[in-house]
């Protein structure tokens, strides 16, 4: 049986007590849904609303059951089921206690863990490998075909220039459209996440927790790529800083498209399952990336040393 701790209005800790004692104190009004509680296995203190289901605390916002007045009805199974409320009635950043579920199973009012820069960077690294493989699978045959075409048109300089322009146009189209279609398809799916974000346990949603459409996800990538192209990469740096310091950890493209990146359990009936740390996959990806950078740095140092040695001779 789990032992629970709770904090009073003065933030003083009390416990350990069992779940029954928590329910009784809630029924008597000594605790409310904003009371912070903790048990072994939880990464940090959470409001009572986040563990209401685990503790069997059922609260209905309208004409439903309240533990303080009819807890016996809930225990013996005669209480009616809680009503399903509209998410539009509550902000996803509302105070604990206003939890509601809409017809799309978007839970509003619960705790929300936003994916930070390192988690998103690890996801982006995985996604870049996926889209890179697909893009080059298309580009290599295209390059071979265009190469043969250029060789066959050696007598016409204008034709060669035109062929090269066509190649570069197709090259950039593939490099931009393949990731855009990939993210549009994956992030508008039921998982609401690309393969990279699935791996790190994150998803992309609207600020109210709703699933984004294909075109919103598609344009979200186009906005990111376009900003990077226009600003020569400066927008990527600005977005990285914004993800690290902003309240909702939104990049520029997130703000343009009204999206956020959150833990996969955010806006669900189990917000307490959200990962607040980096997670195993993120740590592994970052470690491999760091090792790769270290290897590149060593190779560069060795190359410079060999070059300097040859020059001195």
Q: What is the pLDDT of residue 66?
A: 46
CATH 3.30.1490 fits 4-83, yes or no: yes
Angle between the N-to-C axes of helices 280-312 and 117-152, in degrees from 0 to 180, rounded to the nearest 10: 60
Q: What is the pLDDT of residue 61?
A: 38
Question: Does the pLDDT of residue 279 top 60, yes or no?
Answer: yes
DSSP state of 10: T
| More confident of the two residues 289 and 103 | 289
Q: What is the pLDDT of residue 65?
A: 42
Residue range 268-286: mean pLDDT, rounded:
90
| Those residues with Cβ within 8 angstroms of residue 50's Cβ, 6 or more apart along the chain or in another chain | 96, 110, 111, 271, 272
Band (12; pLDDT cuts 50, 70, 90): confident
CA distances from 189 to 4, 76, 101, 186 (A): 38, 40, 20, 5
Q: Are 105 and 84 in contact (CB under 8 A)?
A: no
Q: What is the pLDDT of residues 26-45, one digit of tens each?
A: 888 888 888 888 888 887 78
Band (313; pLDDT cuts 50, 70, 90): low
Band (178; pLDDT cuts 50, 70, 90): very high
Domain ranges in the chain are 4-83, 117-278
Q: What is the pLDDT of residues 111-141, one digit of tens each?
A: 899 999 999 999 999 999 999 999 999 999 8
Closest CA to 37 of 60, 58, 54: 54
Question: Does the pLDDT of residue 89 top 90, yes or no?
Answer: no
- Write down the residue that tokens 């605390």 correspond to: 57
Q: Where does 76-116 have alpha helices with state H?
A: none
Band (88; pLDDT cuts 50, 70, 90): very low
Containing H/E element for 252? helix 252-257
Q: What is the pLDDT of residue 146?
A: 74
Q: Are 259 and 212 in contact (CB under 8 A)?
A: yes
Q: What are 263's strand-pairing partners? A: 202
Q: What is the pLDDT of residue 2?
A: 75
Q: Which residues of 256-274 are buried (b: 16+ CB within 10 A; e: fewer)?
A: bbebbbbbbbbbbeebbeb
Question: Does the pLDDT of residue 270 top 80, yes or no?
Answer: yes
CA distances from 101 to 8, 175, 268 (A): 28, 40, 8
């Amino acid at each position: 049986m789990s032992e629970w701790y709770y904090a009073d209005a003065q933030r003083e800790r009390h416990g350990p007590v069992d779940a029954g004692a928590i329910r009784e104190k809630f029924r008597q009004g000594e605790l409310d849904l904003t009371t912070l509680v903790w048990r072994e296995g939880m990464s940090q203190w959470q409001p009572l609303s986040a563990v209401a289901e685990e503790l069997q605390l059922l609260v209905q916002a309208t004409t439903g059951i309240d533990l303080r007045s009819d807890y016996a009805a809930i225990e013996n199974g005669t209480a009616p089921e809680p009503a399903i409320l509209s998410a539009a009635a509550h902000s996803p950043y509302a105070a604990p206690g206003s939890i509601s579920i809409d017809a799309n199973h978007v839970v509003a009012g619960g705790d929300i863990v936003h994916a930070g820069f390192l988690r998103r960077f690890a996801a982006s690294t995985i996604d870049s490998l996926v889209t890179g493989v697909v893009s080059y699978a298309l580009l290599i045959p295209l390059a071979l075909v265009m190469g043969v075409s250029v060789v066959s048109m050696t007598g016409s300089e204008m034709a060669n220039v035109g062929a090269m322009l066509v190649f570069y146009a197709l090259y950039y189209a593939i490099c931009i459209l393949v990731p855009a279609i990939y993210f549009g398809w994956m992030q508008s799916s039921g998982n609401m996440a690309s393969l990279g974000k699935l791996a790190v346990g994150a998803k992309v949603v609207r600020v109210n927790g709703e699933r984004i459409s294909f075109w919103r996800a598609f344009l979200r990538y186009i906005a990111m790529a376009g900003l990077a192209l226009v600003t020569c990469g400066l927008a990527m740096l600005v977005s990285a800083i914004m993800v690290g310091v902003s309240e909702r950890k939104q990049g520029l493209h997130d703000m343009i498209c009204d999206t956020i990146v959150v833990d996969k359990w955010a806006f669900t009936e189990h917000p307490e399952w959200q990962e607040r740390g980096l997670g195993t996959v993120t740590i592994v990806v970052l470690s491999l990336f760091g090792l790769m950078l270290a290897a590149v740095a060593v190779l560069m140092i060795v190359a410079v040393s060999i070059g300097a040695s040859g020059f001195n001779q």
